[in-house]
Amino acid sequence: MTTSKVAATITGMVLMTMSSFFAFAQKTISEGTLTYKISTQSDKSTQADPLSGATNTVYLKGSLSRTDMSSALGKETTIYDAKNGDGVILKEYSGQKLMITLSKENWAKQNNKFEGLTFVNTGETKTIAGYNCTKANAKLKDGSSITVYYAPDVIINNKEYNQTFKNLSGLPVQYEFENGKLKFQYLLSSLNIASIPVSKFDFPKTGYRVMTYDESHQGKKEGN
């Protein structure tokens, strides 16, 4: 075998080894539970924070996702089937229970502000909650921004679970954004890859007042 052929063979073996290493090192999650702790910052520091102690829990199973946001104000749940393109938003506040139904088109409209959102790495790295994270920034259509520290070695298989991070190359471990005068921070407190029963993603059949997505926005249209 000639020297050039030997070199080519060695190079090929090295590339295959590196490819296998990165495939092994990178973890893909298709089922599991992510729990985030939510904290806020405001200019009015003396004002009580209704989101103090709030949590955001994400359940994933294949194309199914469920996100529960719980706080002292109440609970809001989003269930979505990315394969069939249907979902619901459940709102439980002040004893009132409302279910808003979503079609695939409604889902796209609901998340329109995140369409085409691209994160740009800053080059900064940081260890958060045991994850080696990379910092990235993105600007939304309304001019607001979001900063995220993500773990590139952990990939969520279902990219539709959170439209904010659809184009993010890794697991969001900590992220911040502003809404009005409040700054929100989400911090990953646990990642559990235990199996989740499919019933967790069932749409409720009773106990809720049901509205379509368009009906839920009718009042806003009339107010404009």
Output the pLDDT for position 47: 60
CATH 3.30.70.1140 assigned to domain 28-223? The reply is no
10-residue block means of pLDDT along the chain (224 residues)? 47 41 68 96 65 91 98 96 96 96 94 93 97 97 94 96 95 93 93 97 97 86 48
Domains of the chain by residue range:
28-223
Predicted local confidence at residue 223, as pLDDT: 46
Q: What is the pLDDT of residue 201?
A: 98
pLDDT of residue 32: 98
**Tokens representing residue 62 in the block:** 């294949």
pLDDT score for 53? 80
Which pLDDT tens digit goes with each residue over 31-60?
999 999 999 887 665 565 667 789 999 999
